[in-house]
Amino acid sequence: MAEIGHYSLLIAFFLALYSTIASFAGTRVPDLGESARRAALALFWLLTIAACTLVYLLAVRDLTVEYVARYTSTVLPMSYAISAFWAGNAGSLLFWVWLLSAYAALVVRGTRKSPSRLVIPALGVMMLIALFFLGLILFLYRIDPEMTPGMVRDPFYATLQVLFGSPEGGLHPACNPFWRLPLRPAEGLGLNPQLQNPGMMFHPPTLYLGYVGMAVPYAFAMAALLTGRVGNEWLSLTRRWTLVAWFFLSIGNILGGWWAYVTLGWGGYWGWDPVENAAFIPWLLATAFLHSVIMQEKRGMFRTWNMVLVLITFVSTIFGTYLTRSGVISSVHAFARNEAFNIAFLAFMAVALVVSFALLFARRNQLASENPIEAVLSREAAFLFNNVVLVGIALVVLFGTVFPAISSAFTGVQVSMGPAWFNNVLWPLWAMLLLLTGVGPVISWRRARRNEFRRGFAIPFAVGIVVAAALVLAGMRNGYALAFFAICAFVLGTIAQEVFRMLRTRTGTLDSPPARKAPVAAFTRNRRFGSYIVHLGVIIVAVGVTGSSLFERQSDLVLRQGEARPFEDHVFRYTSFRRAQEPNRDVYAAGVEVARAGEVRAKVEVVKEDYHAEQMRWTKARILSSVVEDVYLTLAAFQEDGSAIILSVRRIPLVVWLWIGGAVLVLGSLIAMLPDTRERVRRARPASRTGER
């Protein structure tokens, strides 16, 4: 079975090679172009066969396959065994390239009737990227001294062995998920207990959907540069693709935060871990791109900058994949161990950057801006600041992420850039970005006149001041918190005011029934309305982050069985102890009763687990959520006989708003993706007057 997967990949590699050449040559020859489109579709089906093969091998736990033996065991639950698809390097790369082929196939299907001359070259760029990943999976290998050349059974690698073999050992593919071991091990190594969480099923796929999705706008941008059609065509063709990628990147980041939050030891929902940062940088850059695109569409500005942004966003997604997969940041030794992998990835990023910038330079004259920025107080300037701040944050995060690796490579000294460093450097930028979230959508184009400025900002400004004053009166003395809550209130004021004004002016022009006027007014401007909802989500997230990061309290309670101790207004009673043996783990569970004001609020079990195959002890948090605060309970330690425990209690205010805000943000991006009602009408009747209002 593994052989079918392996040879599907091999056929796919040559198909991608053909499709790349046919795409670039097929821009002038329609039949070749059609063949390239078919090759892209066939690539998707071949990689689907490969992906299904791997899922099957994982599901049946075929331990003769090295990847299956390394990431599963016979006692691992089925859902996690299948999630092991993206747990390791080889599977992740296959998943990446499979998603890319799916995006390419969707582009092919979605542009069947498109007359655009950008589609075929864009397909060529996507196929080129697929070629790199397939090459990595198939042809990247290392010399394994424990393996003799005779042990290489696969005819493909046996041939490579003859051509490139070494007397020092056998050829071992560095990231091929279908590689068979010479001998079947008795048991697999199993999946890291940290990854045995529902987050594992959803977080990596959504994040990868976001990463890979950014390849589509990049491919169209490159196609525009290659063909010289650098107008707005590539933007209008890729707007929804960018939103789709951003949508998945957002979900991926939020799910990642949630997973880290419910998993003890990952530093809360955001610990500025390199892998977290690697996912956050593309999101920041893609956000900047989504904003600057509006400038090009409406004012013919930022044309070069949009190209630069889409380019660096794409490279950052590759960088994110690389950082997550190579382990180069968390362990410097990984660099030496997997040198070929590192060189291949870094070379790919370098080539992508150099070629893209060279093309950009060659077309620089065609990308001149149509309009200049005329005033500092204008929508154009606000968007420029927004971009500067977003890219600035991305650069700070990038610096903080790679600096420890660079420093230790050159000086041998391990420098740690912890959460404190990131928070200290970034808070002014966050404040500025939040402020711009309020200013940008309200301020006038070209030049804001004084009366317009007053009319736009008087009420929101007053809302901000009132909220700050109310918080001071309520006893809040933390300057950061006051500033952030006031800014959030100001931005909420601008959003409410904008939505109200939009609905008021638009409902006046509609002839729908009165009850339907407001929804019709909103959903015939989906892009605008969606963006307001996204901004609302951002503000709710900001409230959650401010509350939870500035006002958390923590205490460790030593409890004997039956004993109760208070922490602030809550009382915690240790009631029972239970030990259970499951196929893959031993579970130690302490029953705790949580009471407030004399009433029992909840009875929970705090748990520690010993995983057999992985030989790891793991603690799971129990969380009591409410809109005001989360009570976060963990079993810090316990007596073997269950006579006493140490219960760790954290009280984290407003954290639930982070997830609510995240959901609102995702919903807003969905709305922004929908076509306007009018657009749908127009597509149904293409011959109608396109210029009608």
Partner 1 sequence: MLAALVVFVMALAVGAYVGYPLLFPGRNPQVEDSERREFELRGAQLAGALRELETDHSLGKVADDDFAERHARLAREIEFVEQRLAGAEPSDQTDVDELAERLVKARRAARKHARSGLCPGCGRSNPPAARFCMNCGSRLEEREPTS
CB nearer to partner 1: give 246 or 529: 529
Q: Report the C-alpha gap between 687 and 520 in whole angstroms.
A: 24
| Minimum separation from the CB atom of position 2 to partner 1 (A) | 9
CB nearer to partner 1: give 8 or 401: 8
CB nearer to partner 1: give 13 or 283: 13
| Minimum separation from the CB atom of position 34 to partner 1 (A) | 4
- Write b or e for each residue in 45-57: b if 16 or more Cβ atoms lie within 10 A of its Cβ, otherwise e: ebbebbbebbbeb
| Minimum separation from the CB atom of position 153 to partner 1 (A) | 13
3-state SS, residue 688: coil
| Minimum separation from the CB atom of position 627 to partner 1 (A) | 33
Q: Tell me, what amino acid is at 653?
A: P
Instruction: Write phi, then psi, for 603 (nearest 5 degrees).
Output: -120, 120
Q: Does 569 bind partner 1 (CB under 8 A)?
A: no
CB nearer to partner 1: give 38 or 612: 38
Q: Does 109 bind partner 1 (CB under 8 A)?
A: no
Instruction: Give the binding range for partner 1 (CB under 8 A) out of 4-12, 87-95, 244-252, 551-559.
Output: 4-12
Q: Which of residues 494-513 bind partner 1 (CB under 8 A)?
A: 498, 501-502, 505-506
| Minimum separation from the CB atom of position 439 to partner 1 (A) | 12
Q: Rule CB under 8 A: choose which of 60, 79, 114, 184 binds partner 1.
A: 114
Q: Report the C-alpha gap between 471 and 246 in whole angstroms.
A: 35
Paired tokens of 451: 């009366």
Q: Rule CB under 8 A: choose which of 183, 336, 368, 474 binds partner 1.
A: 368
Instruction: Give the binding range for partner 1 (CB under 8 A) out of 224-232, 411-419, 425-433, 569-577.
Output: 224-232
Q: Does 684 bind partner 1 (CB under 8 A)?
A: no
- Give the number of other CB atoms < 10 A from CB of residue 508: 9
Q: Rule CB under 8 A: choose which of 146, 511, 640, 692 binds partner 1.
A: 692
| Minimum separation from the CB atom of position 443 to partner 1 (A) | 8
Q: Report the C-alpha gap between 58 and 430 in whole angstroms.
A: 43
Residue 437 exposed, middle or buried by CB count within 10 Å (0-12, 13-18, 19+): buried
Interaction pattern, residues 663-682, with partner 1; x per rule: CB under 8 A: -------------x-xx--x
Are the C-beta atoms of 553 and 568 separated by less than 8 Å?
yes
Q: Report the C-alpha gap between 351 and 339 in whole angstroms.
A: 18
Tell how far CA 16 is from the center of its chain. 26
| Minimum separation from the CB atom of position 444 to partner 1 (A) | 5
CB nearer to partner 1: give 76 or 118: 118
Look at the alpha carbons of 420, 426, 428, 431 in this order and tell me if their dihedral is positive or negative. negative
Q: Does 386 bind partner 1 (CB under 8 A)?
A: no
Instruction: Give the binding range for partner 1 (CB under 8 A) out of 110-118, 218-226, 332-340, 405-413.
Output: 110-118
Instruction: Give the binding range for partner 1 (CB under 8 A) out of 369-377, 431-439, 568-576, 654-662.
Output: 369-377
Q: Does 687 bind partner 1 (CB under 8 A)?
A: yes
Instruction: Give the angle 71-72-75 at the CA atoms, nearest 5°.
Output: 155
- Give the number of other CB atoms < 10 A from CB of residue 331: 12
CB nearer to partner 1: give 424 or 690: 690
Interaction pattern, residues 403-442, with partner 1; x per rule: CB under 8 A: ----------------------------------------
Q: Does 240 bind partner 1 (CB under 8 A)?
A: no
Residue in the block written with tokens 């172009």: 33
| Minimum separation from the CB atom of position 561 to partner 1 (A) | 60
Q: Tell me, what amino acid is at 400?
A: G
CB nearer to partner 1: give 236 or 478: 236
Helix (H) or strand (E) holding 669: helix 656-673
Q: Report the C-alpha gap between 132 and 135 in whole angstroms.
A: 5
The DSSP result for 526-584, as a single string, is HHHHHHHHHHHHHHHHHHHHHHHHHS-EEEEEEEETT-EEEETTEEEEEEEEEEEEETT
| Minimum separation from the CB atom of position 218 to partner 1 (A) | 22
3-state SS, residue 621: coil
Instruction: Give the binding range for partner 1 (CB under 8 A) out of 54-62, 271-279, 363-371, 631-639.
Output: 363-371
Dihedral (C-alpha) 108, 110, 114, 117: value to the nearest 10 degrees? -40
Q: Rule CB under 8 A: choose which of 64, 444, 507, 619 binds partner 1.
A: 444
3-state SS, residue 611: strand
Q: Rule CB under 8 A: choose which of 144, 452, 593, 610 binds partner 1.
A: 452
CB nearer to partner 1: give 19 or 196: 19
Quick one: angle between helices 526-550 and 419-439, nearest 10? 140
Are the C-beta atoms of 322 and 316 separated by less than 8 Å?
no
Q: Which of residues 243-302 bind partner 1 (CB under 8 A)?
A: 297-298, 300
Residue 453 exposed, middle or buried by CB count within 10 Å (0-12, 13-18, 19+): middle
Q: Report the C-alpha gap between 91 and 178 in whole angstroms.
A: 9
Q: Rule CB under 8 A: choose which of 79, 148, 159, 236 binds partner 1.
A: 236
Instruction: Write phi, then psi, for 609 (nearest 5 degrees).
Output: -130, 135
Q: Tell me, what amino acid is at 565?
A: R
* Backbone torsion region of residue 47, taken as left when φ is above 0, otherwise alpha when ψ lies between -120 and 50, otherwise beta: alpha
Q: Rule CB under 8 A: choose which of 331, 371, 626, 677 binds partner 1.
A: 371
Q: Does 370 bind partner 1 (CB under 8 A)?
A: yes
Contacts (Cβ under 8 Å, ≥6 apart) of 330: 274, 275
| Minimum separation from the CB atom of position 330 to partner 1 (A) | 38
| Minimum separation from the CB atom of position 197 to partner 1 (A) | 35
Paired tokens of 529: 């309305």
Q: Which of residues 16-75 bind partner 1 (CB under 8 A)?
A: 18, 30-32, 34-35, 38-39, 42, 46, 49
Q: Does 145 bind partner 1 (CB under 8 A)?
A: no
Q: Rule CB under 8 A: choose which of 64, 147, 229, 601 binds partner 1.
A: 229
Q: Rule CB under 8 A: choose which of 109, 184, 364, 449 binds partner 1.
A: 449
Q: Does 450 bind partner 1 (CB under 8 A)?
A: no
Paired tokens of 22: 């046919």
Look at the alpha carbons of 110, 113, 115, 119 in this order and tell me if their dihedral is positive or negative. positive
CB nearer to partner 1: give 224 or 352: 224
Instruction: Write phi, then psi, for 143 (nearest 5 degrees).
Output: -90, 120
* Backbone torsion region of residue 195, taken as left when φ is above 0, otherwise alpha when ψ lies between -120 and 50, otherwise beta: alpha
Number of residues that bind partner 1 (CB under 8 A): 63
CB nearer to partner 1: give 416 or 690: 690
Q: Rule CB under 8 A: choose which of 372, 475, 513, 598 binds partner 1.
A: 372
Q: Report the C-alpha gap between 376 and 378 in whole angstroms.
A: 6
Paired tokens of 561: 């069985």
| Minimum separation from the CB atom of position 164 to partner 1 (A) | 23
Instruction: Give the binding range for partner 1 (CB under 8 A) out of 315-323, 403-411, 446-454, 530-538.
Output: 446-454
- The CA–CA distances, whole Å, from 562 to 92, 591, 648 equal 48, 10, 17
**Given the rule CB under 8 A, which residues bind partner 1?**
1, 3-4, 7-8, 11, 15, 18, 30-32, 34-35, 38-39, 42, 46, 49, 113-116, 229, 231-233, 236, 297-298, 300, 368, 370-372, 379, 443-447, 449, 452, 455-456, 498, 501-502, 505-506, 525, 528, 676, 678-679, 682-683, 686-687, 689-693
